[in-house]
Structure formats: structure tokens, C-alpha cells
């Protein structure tokens, strides 16, 4: 059984120096690892791609389930993991939940992993 993601504050994107700037402390490494672990699933990568390329600004779980040919409960599980990692945000509209990607979270993660960043 896979280990669950630790609970961290994901209200803001990961914020630490690039991994090549200096050895990371335990907390900074955890911040990065939680986000990478949430993304380390092909279905979650596909969900992020759908959300990032959507022009409406937010997509209903039911539409995502249809696009991926999965049960809504499965899609909701994956979106929940992405939400806990700060990669997406959700908004309830009546009986449906709409999700949007947080591009700034991906940008921050990319900057942390870029050895050429901030030089």
C-alpha cells in the first residue's frame, strides 16, 4: 500500500532556494517531495494537462471523468491528492466541483529544480 502524503502548508507554492544553491534542509526537501509525489502518477499528469490547457478557467469533475474515461470517484481521488499538494484549487458550484490548475505552483517547483535558476 502506498504511503500517504504528509500534511504540509500548501497555501503558497513551494518556496525555497534551488536544489543546486546549497544542501536542502529536511523541511525544504519535504516541501518539494510532497509536490513531486503528487505529480508522480500518469493520471495526475493527464489531469494537470487537461486543467492547464482548458480555456474556461475551471473544469467540472464530471467532465474530467468523461475525458479520461474514469469513474468520477477515481478522478476525485486524484484531484484531492493534487489539491493537498497545492497544485490545483477547487470550487463547489451547486452539486458539482470545479477544478483549476495553479500554474504558479508548477512554476515555483520548476524554479526549485532548475540548477541554472537565480544565477
Mean pLDDT on 94-119: 84
Q: How confident is the model at residue 66 (pLDDT cuts 50, 70, 90)?
A: very high
- Strands, E assignment, 1-119: 59-60, 88-93, 96-101
- Residues in Cβ contact with 78 at an 8 Å cutoff, skipping those fewer than 6 apart: 41, 43, 44, 47
pLDDT at residue 101 in the model:
94
Instruction: Say what the alpha-carbon torsion angle 8, 11, 13, 84 is, to the nearest 10 degrees.
Output: 50
Instruction: Report pTM.
Output: 0.80
Mean pLDDT on 56-70: 94
Residue 36, φ and ψ in degrees, nearest 5:
-65, -40
- Please give the residue that has the higher pLDDT: either 16 or 60: 60
pLDDT at residue 54 in the model:
92
Domains of the chain, earliest start first:
26-112 (1.10.10.10)
Percent of the chain with pLDDT over 90: 50
| 111 vs 95: CA distance, rounded Å | 37
pLDDT at residue 21 in the model:
75
Amino acid at each position: 500500500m502506498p504511503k500517504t502524503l504528509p500534511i504540509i502548508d500548501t497555501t503558497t507554492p513551494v518556496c525555497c532556494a534551488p536544489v543546486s544553491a546549497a544542501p536542502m534542509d529536511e523541511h525544504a526537501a519535504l516541501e518539494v517531495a510532497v509536490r513531486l509525489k503528487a505529480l508522480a502518477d500518469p493520471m495526475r499528469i493527464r489531469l494537470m494537462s487537461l486543467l492547464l490547457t482548458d480555456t474556461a478557467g475551471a473544469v467540472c469533475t464530471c467532465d474530467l471523468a468523461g475525458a479520461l474515461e474514469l469513474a468520477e470517484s477515481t478522478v476525485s481521488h486524484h484531484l484531492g491528492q493534487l489539491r493537498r499538494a497545492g497544485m490545483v484549487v477547487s470550487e463547489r458550484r451547486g452539486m458539482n466541483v470545479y477544478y483549476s490548475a495553479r500554474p504558479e505552483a508548477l512554476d515555483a517547483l520548476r524554479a526549485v529544480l532548475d540548477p541554472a535558476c537565480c544565477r
